[in-house]
């Protein structure tokens, strides 16, 4: 399975593509960021972000997209930009019929480090080790995107089984 992880942000949107399967190590396909100037109008920034995400989807052809679920922060302006950037990635993937899953930061940290309270340095260290990279991905947004992709790669089979079981458990549910 090939997964595109998206760490949404208006100034820097981290993107990471990995490939792997259960029981086998994941492999890095590509990692980077789409940057937009903070001085630009928000509409222009979102259009630039969309072009960047669309380019990654065209070039890397993922099977699924994992986006970080936005949680409230003290700075409402930051939350709005992050949510808007995440929505751009979700819409771009949905246009192609790709499954999109949102993962919370603590889910991602727990999947990659074993602790939902890990700091950015621990996440970057584990991403570097798990993907057998010579150097840590930079900036942190790129490492976070890879962590999202790893989380999804490992959680997707269990989530699919859960959805199938819940559908079968409901009256009239289909298998």
Active site positions, annotated: 7, 68, 141
Whether the Cβ atoms of residue 70 and residue 82 lie closer than 8 Å to each other: yes
Whether the Cβ atoms of residue 129 and residue 137 lie closer than 8 Å to each other: no
Q: What is the spatial distance between Cα 108 and Cα 90, in angstroms, rounded to a whole number?
A: 18
Task: Convert 94-108 to b/e letters by CB count within 10 Å (16 or more is b).
Answer: eeeebbbbbbebebb
Partnered with residue 101 across adjacent β-strands are: 66
Q: What is the spatial distance between Cα 113 and Cα 119, in angstroms, rounded to a whole number?
A: 9
Nearest to 86 by CA among 109, 64, 102, 108: 102
């Amino acid at each position: 399975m090939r997964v595109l992880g998206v760490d949404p942000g208006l100034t820097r949107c981290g993107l990471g593509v990995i490939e792997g399967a259960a029981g086998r190590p994941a492999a890095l396909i590509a990692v980077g960021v789409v940057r937009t100037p903070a001085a630009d109008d928000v509409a222009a920034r979102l259009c630039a972000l969309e072009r960047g995400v669309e380019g990654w989807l065209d070039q890397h052809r993922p099977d699924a997209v994992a986006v970080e679920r936005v949680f409230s922060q003290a700075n409402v302006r930051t939350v709005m930009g992050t949510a808007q950037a995440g929505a751009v990635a979700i819409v771009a993937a949905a246009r192609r019929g790709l499954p999109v899953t949102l993962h919370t930061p603590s889910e991602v940290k727990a999947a990659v480090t074993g602790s939902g309270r890990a700091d950015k340095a621990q996440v970057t260290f584990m991403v570097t080790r798990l993907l057998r990279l010579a150097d840590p991905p930079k900036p942190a947004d790129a490492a976070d995107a890879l962590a999202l992709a790893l989380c999804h790669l490992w959680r997707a089979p269990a989530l699919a089984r859960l959805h199938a079981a819940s559908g079968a458990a409901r009256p009239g549910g289909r298998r």
